[in-house]
Amino acid sequence: MTQLFSVKVLAVVAKIPKGETLAYREVALRAGRPGAYRAVGTVLSTNYDPVIPCHRVVRSDGELGNYNRGPKIKERLLKEEGAL
C-alpha cells in the first residue's frame, strides 16, 4: 500500500456527505484501485482525524464493518446522521 493510495482514500472518504455511506469497495474504486477494498479498511483503521468521516464507510453486505473508535460509536454516529 502506498502513501498516495492512502491520500486518495482519505480524500474520497472526506467527500462522503453526512447521512450517506459508501462501501469499502466503492471507496477503493474511486481511489483508483478497485480490488483494494481491504486496504481501504487498513488505511481507515489508522485515521484519527475527525475531519475524515471514516464511520461513513460500511461493508458491501450492509454490515457496518470495523471502526477504530469502536462499533458502537460507529453505529451511534450513523444513526445521528440519519444513515441508519
CATH number at residue 47: 1.10.10.10
Contacts of 10 (CB under 8 A, 6+ apart): 43, 47, 49, 52
pLDDT in tens, 5-25: 999 999 999 999 999 999 999
Contacts of 7 (CB under 8 A, 6+ apart): none
**What confidence score (pLDDT) does residue 50 get?**
87
**What confidence score (pLDDT) does residue 62 get?**
86
pLDDT in tens, 28-83: 999 999 999 999 999 999 998 989 999 999 999 989 999 999 999 999 999 999 99
**What confidence score (pLDDT) does residue 1 get?**
65
Give how many domains the chain has, as a whole number: 1
Question: Could you write out the three-class secondary structure of 35-59?
Answer: CCHHHHHHHHHCCCCCCCCHHHEEC
Domain that holds residue 15: 3-81
The residues carrying an active-site annotation are 54
pTM flag (> 0.95) = no
Return the number of other C-beta atoms located less than 10 Å from residue 64's C-beta: 16
3-state helix, strand, coil in the chain (%, to 5): 50, 5, 45
